[in-house]
Amino acid sequence: MKGNSEKRVDLLIRNGTVLTMDKKRTVIPDGAVAVVGQSITAVGPSADFTQWPAARTLDAGGGLILPGLINTHTHAAMALFRGLADDLPLMTWLNEHIFPAEAKLTPELVRVGTRLACAELIRSGTTCFCDMYLFEAAVAEAARQCGLRAVVGEVFFDFPSPNYGPIDQGFAYAQALLARWKNDPLIRVAIEPHSPYLCAPELLTRAASLAADHGALLVIHLSETQAEVAQIQEKYKRTPTGHLAHLGVLSPRLVACHAVVLTAEDIALLAQNDVKVSHNPESNMKLASGVAPVPDLLAAGVCVGLGTDGCASNNNLDLFGEMDTAAKLHKVQRLDPTVMDAATVLAMTTRNAARVLGLAHEIGSLEVGKRADLIVVDTHQPHLTPMYDPVSHLVYAARGSDVLHSVINGQVVMENRDLLTLDEAQVLADARQAAALIRP
């Protein structure tokens, strides 16, 4: 038994195989997790909990109990843009379709899109996501109301934003977000300049300083395409990573999203500065951006987490599918079936993803004292039977629709596939109505 001697608990999740994802990757057959308030108070065999009174019990039904999955990069409200512009190069997609659609956005549309994303995230086992978008105050409020843990950040550009206008007002907006959500149990605020190609050096250094002043993450798209790298090299005579290093922006607080086109020198710089990377394989594939050198990043000691990117370029938020893609993509790209094994990839959506977002002390594993963010996967499915290795099944066979229960910060947000923190029918109706305003 790992826990304290207190036996009265608020929530007991029992009768399942517990994958703790702790440092030893401890697995407890027929295990249970006890929760008091927001936190895990004990983890151990179910038999040890038979005399523990619980205000509420969730039966895992012999399934898998594991940490909630963590999406390290997405644009939640872009769920409203799913399928709006497919099969296009990145810059054509952005400049001719996405940016014009985003010019129509309002706080209410972003709220609607975020609630739609939250429904999908909860249903597919994600309990925490890192968001970069517009009108992030609406994203934070929607995520909080849905009970999802989120790291949110207003995107900065050189050009005026549809939300805040000129960049000075963007920094004021970000500072207001930092003040509003300080010490919130679910919402954290990050500083998020879009990319080196859409942000001047002065903007990047100013953003880095603001993040450092508040101990916040700095999140940026980095080296997503060869065209981006060529543009930065022509303008600054350095790679995008080298450019950020020259500006003094690389740090352990930096999350580099995509990181597809990297030199050996770039990888060394990321490792030396303990920069974290968000790998988004399905979006990178769909936009033909390339294959990120994740095995090389891992070998260099860089912490890598998985992200889905937004629904306009994925087109879903299912991290189970993302895990499967990540594992297989690198095997075929390297012609090596041993690359990106299942245990490595599962860690990229749990304990390592938590580290990417600066939340390793709170979430990412099922350990006493950590926040109670966990999911139960129903394994009584043809595609999950028989089960020789639960980690293998989670990466290569499970689907988001197999998630039965979801708990975030000690709150049950989904039970037996029923969403408890939002009205799903209303969410879908609102999204359909919003589409009429967005459709070109």
Residue 124's nearest CA partner among 418, 401, 408 is 401
Position 354 scores a pLDDT of 98
- Provide the pLDDT confidence category of residue 2 given band limits of 50, 70 and 90: low
Position 88 scores a pLDDT of 85
The answer to whether 364 and 224 have CB atoms below 8 angstroms apart is no
- Asked if pLDDT for residue 409 goes beyond 60, the answer is yes
b/e burial code for range 358-374 (CB count within 10 A of at least 16 → b): bbbebbbbbbbebbbbb
User: Strands 411-415 and 2-3, how do they pair?
Assistant: unpaired
Sign of CA dihedral 78, 82, 85, 88: positive
Distance (Å, whole) CA 386 – CA 307:
29
- Asked if pLDDT for residue 285 goes beyond 80, the answer is yes
Position 264 scores a pLDDT of 98
- Provide the pLDDT confidence category of residue 85 given band limits of 50, 70 and 90: confident
Residues of the chain with CATH 3.20.20.140: 69-356
Position 3 scores a pLDDT of 54
- Asked if pLDDT for residue 5 goes beyond 70, the answer is no
Distance (Å, whole) CA 384 – CA 394:
9
Q: Per-residue pLDDT tens for 151-180? A: 999 999 999 999 999 999 999 999 999 999
What mean pLDDT do residues 17-27 have? 97
Position 102 scores a pLDDT of 87
What mean pLDDT do residues 136-160 have? 97
b/e burial code for range 269-307 (CB count within 10 A of at least 16 → b): bbbebebbbbbbbbbbebbebbebbbbebbeeebbbbbb
Position 91 scores a pLDDT of 82
Residues of the chain with CATH 2.30.40.10: 2-67+370-419
User: Strands 27-36 and 187-189, how do they pair?
Assistant: unpaired
Secondary structure (3-state) at 187: strand
Q: Per-residue pLDDT tens for 98-129? A: 888 888 899 999 999 999 999 999 999 999 99
Q: Tokens 């249970």 — which residue?
A: 32
Position 95 scores a pLDDT of 87
Task: Give me the architecture of the 2-67+370-419 domain, per CATH.
Answer: Roll (2.30)
Sign of CA dihedral 322, 328, 331, 335: negative
Distance (Å, whole) CA 187 – CA 5:
31
* Residues constituting the chain: 440
Enumerate residues 6+ apart whose C-beta is below 8 A from 196.
204, 220, 222, 228, 232, 240, 243, 244
Q: Tokens 């050198």 — which residue?
A: 293
What mean pLDDT do residues 255-267 have? 98
Distance (Å, whole) CA 50 – CA 14:
10
Position 438 scores a pLDDT of 85
pLDDT, averaged across the chain = 96
- Provide the pLDDT confidence category of residue 1 given band limits of 50, 70 and 90: low
Position 440 scores a pLDDT of 66
The answer to whether 177 and 169 have CB atoms below 8 angstroms apart is no
Position 370 scores a pLDDT of 98
Secondary structure (3-state) at 133: strand
The answer to whether 329 and 291 have CB atoms below 8 angstroms apart is yes
Q: Per-residue pLDDT tens for 291-309? A: 999 999 999 999 999 999 9
- Provide the pLDDT confidence category of residue 51 given band limits of 50, 70 and 90: confident
The answer to whether 317 and 399 have CB atoms below 8 angstroms apart is no
Position 90 scores a pLDDT of 77
Q: Topology of domain 69-356, per CATH? A: TIM Barrel (3.20.20)
Virtual torsion, Cα 104, 110, 113, 116, nearest 10 deg: -160
- Asked if pLDDT for residue 422 goes beyond 70, the answer is yes
Distance (Å, whole) CA 179 – CA 89:
38
Percent of the chain scoring above 90 in pLDDT? 91
What mean pLDDT do residues 355-376 have? 98
